[in-house]
Amino acid sequence: MTGDTQSKTVLTMSNQDYPGLYQGADAASASAQKIYFLLQQIYLGSLIIGGLTGMLTSLFTGSVLTGTYTVMAIVLAIGLLVLWIGRARQDDSAWFDCRAIAESVKTATWRYMMIAAPFQNHGTIDQEFISELQEIRKARPECQKHFAGVAAASNPPITDFMRKVRESAYEDRKHFYIEQRLCDQKSWYFRKAKLNAGESVRWFWWTAGLQSIAVIAAIIQAAAGGVGFNMVPILTTCAAAVAAWNQMKRHDELKKSYALASQELNELEVIARNLANESDFPQLVEQIEEASSREHTMWCARRDVLLRRTGAKAR
């Protein structure tokens, strides 16, 4: 009994235990996401700095004024260049597509380890799993260039850890799945829902605050008949940039979908812990995998990205 408890405590799933395709796609997706948001930050920052510089032109004359306009032109030109670089690189597409690959491989991996459809016991199961990975990869050939340089991408398609879990006793597999997949995914969705709810409120108040100050500044300008130092343009630019950033991060949208996914997995956890028959376990795994990937499926749909479903035949 002590040995069983110890094995259940020690056995954990890490990125290195997934197929090389998952590790490569996961790393490439994270890198593309980071670059995408960095370029967006630079672009929005250039608009804010350009607006601030434009506001300062009312304070200067002569050569200083000329220099100020020069700085503003350079900053706005940098923003325009970054905009074109972002369009050419298409890091958002790389982020979405590589994430779709990673999530498809992830759910296939758990189905394989749990002996769930379509990877149930028969002689050619390893070949079928590898074929599934090949179909996932071939569905997005353009992603190869993004994770080709990731060393982990060349790791085996079926790791020793995956085989170990698949060959373990039913109760051990069930416990491992509940703790390392179901509860881990539920906790992840809960944390993300809470984080996005907080970020949504924070960025809303930043936008509202800047807009309110702009309104006050405009009223002062109107009452004074116009003064030289006009803050309204830079304040409205900042408010628009903050609103654009909040929209780009989709905090309002994600807090709802993550909370719903967490609640659904919480309900399935109760069913999983009270499951008595081993024959019902594969079907439960399928339900949990569907629930785990439903939010990501919606995420892909919003971005017009095709998410390959495990076991589905390519058209």
Burial of residue 147, with CB atoms counted within 10 A of its CB: 0-12 exposed, 13-18 middle, 19 or more buried: buried
Q: Where do the DSSP E strands lie in the chain? A: none
pTM: 0.85
Each domain of the chain, given as residue ranges in start order, spans: 18-163, 168-296
Which segment of 38-47, 70-79, 113-122, 201-210 scores lowest on mean pLDDT? Answer: 113-122
Residue 18 is given by DSSP the state: S
The token pair at 217 is: 């500044």
Residue whose pair of structure tokens reads 């970020």 in the numeric block: 199
pLDDT digits over 103-162, tens only? 999 999 999 999 998 998 777 899 999 999 999 999 888 888 888 777 778 889 999 999
pLDDT higher than threshold 90 for residue 305: no
First to last CA, the chain: 49
